[in-house]
A and B are shown apart, each in its own frame.
Chain A
Amino acid sequence: MHAIVAIKQVPDTSNVRIDPETGTLIREGVPAIINPYDIHAVEAAVQLKEQFGGRVTVITMGPPKAAEALIECIEQGADRAILLTDRKFGGADTLATSYVLAHAIEALNAEWPADIILFGKQAIDGDTAQVGPGVAVRLQIPLITYAIAIESFDPVARTAVVHRRIEQGVEVLQTRLPVLLTVEKEIAPVRRAPLPRMITAARYQPEVWTAETPVAFDPRQIGLKGSPTVVGKAYTPAPRAGGAIVTVADCGVEAAVARALEVMGILDTVRSSVAASAGVEVA
Chain B
Amino acid sequence: MPDRLSYDAIVVGGGPAGTAAALVMARGGLSVIQIERGRFAGAKNIFGGVFYTHALADVLPDYWERKPPFERPVTEQGYWMLSPDSALRIMHKSEQYRQEPAGAYTVLRARFDPWFAAQAVEAGALLITRTTVTRLLKDARGFVIGVDTDRPDGQVYAPIVIIAEGVNNLLTRQAGLIASDLPPRYVALSVKEYLSMPPKELQARFGLAGPREGVAIDIFGDATLGLPGTAFLYTDQAGISIGVGMLLEEFVCHRLRPYDVLARFKNHPVIRPYLEGSESREYGAHLIPEMGYDRMPRLAGNGVMVAGDAAGMVDALHREGTNLAIIAGKAAAETALAAHEQGDFSAAFLSRYRRDLEASFVLKDMKQYRHMTDFLDSTPGFMGTYANLLNDAALRYFTAHGIPKRSMEREIVSLLRERRSFTGIAWDMLKLMRAMRG
Contact = CB atoms under 8 A, between A and B. Distances in A.
Interface of A: 29, 31, 191-196, 198-199, 202-203
B149 A195 contact: yes
A195 B154 contact: yes
Interface in B122-143: 126-128, 130-131
A132 to B, nearest CB: 28
Secondary structure type dominating chain B contacts: loop
Interface centre among B5, B126, B152, by most A CB within 10 Å? Answer: B152
Interface string B1-41: 01001000000000000000000000000000100000100
Interface centre among A194, A196, A198, by most B CB within 10 Å? Answer: A198
Nearest to B149: A195
Interface residues of B, number: 18
Contacts of B154: 194-195
19 contacts: A192-B150, A192-B151, A193-B151, A193-B152, A195-B5, A195-B128, A195-B149, A195-B151, A195-B154, A195-B155, A196-B2, A196-B5, A198-B128, A198-B131, A199-B5, A199-B33, A199-B128, A202-B126, A202-B127
A31 B130 CA distance: 15
B107 interface: no
Contacts of B358: none
Contacts of A31: 39
A194 B127 contact: no
B126 A194 contact: no
A157 B33 CA distance: 45
A194 B153 contact: yes
Contacts of A202: 126-128
B348 to A, nearest CB: 32
B127 A195 contact: no
B268 to A, nearest CB: 28
A192 to B, nearest CB: 6
A191 B127 CA distance: 21
A193 B151 CA distance: 7
Pairs of residues from A and B, 7 with the lowest C-beta to C-beta distance, nearest first: A194-B152, A194-B153, A195-B151, A195-B154, A198-B128, A195-B153, A196-B2
Contacts of A192: 150-152
A31 to B, nearest CB: 8
B156 interface: yes
Interface in B151-173: 151-156
Contacts of A199: 5, 33, 126, 128
Interface centre among A31, A193, A195, A196, by most B CB within 10 Å? Answer: A195
